Amino acid sequence: MEAINEKKGMPLLGDKFPEMTVQTTHGIMTLPKAFEGKWFVLFSHPADFTPVCTTEFVAFQKRYDKFKALNCDLVGLSVDQVFSHIKWEEWIKDNLNVEIEFPIIADTGAVAERLGLIHPGKGTNTVRAVFVVDAKGIIRIILYYPQELGRNMDEILRAVEAMQISDKNGVAMPANWPNNEIIGDSVIIPPAKDVKTARERLEKAKKGEFKCFDWWLCYKKI
């Protein structure tokens, strides 16, 4: 792995995804350039040929078409050689009848160190991390799971879709969207930041442009 960006420290939300050239099961790739104009989800797993990781890769693959429908690609990662990744893919196909279509990064440890993926109490294995990166290469979501807990891929898919809707419409997404306990599949209009806008907000609600519980909690359908 050849690092191009010399910035040190784990990247944060809003940072540009670090530029790096990596070996994958689909050949050499340069991130984030390889996914330019697309969102992508980079997710790390502790190791190949492990039970929880196997269930996760099958779950991601089962939803791969849904991610692609959102203009979002997937890329896996672990500190394993590319030969191990290839054999593991073959095992999954032969035994579970699932063909992994997305690339997997074969990391020497440099990528994991750059992204802060090595758990200090778990030797050299990577944690179950998720980086959601938008079409401009900006990190929008970071999730970390312990080795003992498999991820919920429907939640990751929901998060990508929700962020895209938020960006497109300038709105916020309620808890458990699109099944929120208060406003269902509606989205939240950002709160007013001055008195004038707060008063206008309630007047617009009276005209049916959207609905409000109060000036600071307004919502609408999209």
Reply yes or no on whether the pLDDT at 1 is more than 60.
Answer: no
Among 88, 13, 6, which residue's Cα sits nearest to residue 49? 88
* Residues marked as catalytic: 53
What is the average pLDDT score of the chain?
91
Higher pLDDT, 126 or 57: 57
More confident site: 193 or 165: 165
Strand 104-106 vs strand 72-78: parallel, antiparallel, or unpaired? Answer: parallel
Class of the 2-169 domain? alpha beta
Q: What percentage of the chain has pLDDT greater than the value 90?
A: 72
Q: Which of 89-93, 119-123, 196-200 has the lowest mean pLDDT?
A: 119-123
pLDDT, one tens digit per residue, over 101-142 is 999 999 888 888 888 887 666 556 677 899 999 999 999 999
Q: For 170-222, CATH number? A: 3.30.1020.10
Provide the pLDDT for residue 121.
63
pLDDT in tens, 151-178: 999 999 999 999 999 999 999 999 999 9
DSSP per-residue codes, the chain: -EE-----S---TTSBPPPEEEEETTEEEEETGGGTTSEEEEEE-S-SS-HHHHHHHHHHHHTHHHHHHTTEEEEEEESS-HHHHHHHHHHHHHHH-----S-EEE--SHHHHHHT-B-TTSTTPBPEEEEEE-TTSBEEEEEEE-TTS---HHHHHHHHHHHHHHHHHT-B--TTTTSBTTTBT-EEEPPPSSHHHHHHHHHHHHTTSSEEEETTEEEE--
Mean pLDDT, residues 183-208 taken together: 91
Report pLDDT for 4: 44
| More confident position, 10 or 43 | 43
Which ranges in the chain are annotated with CATH 3.30.1020.10? 170-222
pLDDT score, position 8: 55
Domain with CATH 3.40.30.10 in the chain: 2-169
